[in-house]
């Protein structure tokens, strides 16, 4: 099943997701919307900020490579299908919009605790 993780839109954090699918999408949004070294207990979580002050094309390439690496490391249940970017040059923001594919087994799997 394909889903778009759009970091340009705010998302509330659900501490009790109903399904594994919902958990994965929330994890990805948090991973893509965070900056590396900002998360106290896991400084590697988030996108590396080496792209700051780089030309747009270079920044997009650096973020793209980091998105693939971080997705594989932190959320291996998802696979990236495509990456697009939303750029706001006046505010200096470059945010990824990532389409991911999840294995079908997570569509309706509920937690049983």
Q: What is the pLDDT of residues 14-56, one digit of tens each?
A: 999 988 889 999 999 999 999 999 989 989 899 998 888 888 8
Domain range summary for the chain, segments of one domain joined by +:
2-106
What is the 8-class DSSP label of residue 48? -
Task: State the Cα–Cα distance between residues 102 and 68, nearest whole angstrom.
Answer: 15
CB 27 within 8 A of CB 105: no
Q: Are 48 and 64 in contact (CB under 8 A)?
A: no
pLDDT tens across 52-72, in order?
888 889 999 999 999 999 999
Q: Which CATH class is domain 2-106?
A: alpha beta
CA–CA gap between residue 84 and residue 98 (Å, rounded): 6
């Amino acid at each position: 099943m394909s889903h778009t993780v759009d970091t340009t839109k705010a998302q509330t954090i659900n501490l009790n997701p109903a399904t594994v699918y919902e958990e994965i999408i929330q994890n990805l949004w948090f991973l893509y919307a965070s900056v590396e070294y900002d998360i106290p207990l896991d400084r590697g979580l988030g996108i590396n900020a080496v792209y700051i002050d780089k030309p747009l094309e270079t920044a997009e390439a650096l973020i793209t490579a980091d998105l693939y690496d971080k997705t594989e490391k932190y959320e291996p249940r998802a696979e990236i299908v495509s990456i697009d970017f939303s750029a706001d040059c006046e505010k200096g923001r470059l945010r990824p919009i990532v389409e991911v594919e999840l294995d079908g087994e997570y569509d309706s799997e509920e937690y049983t605790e």
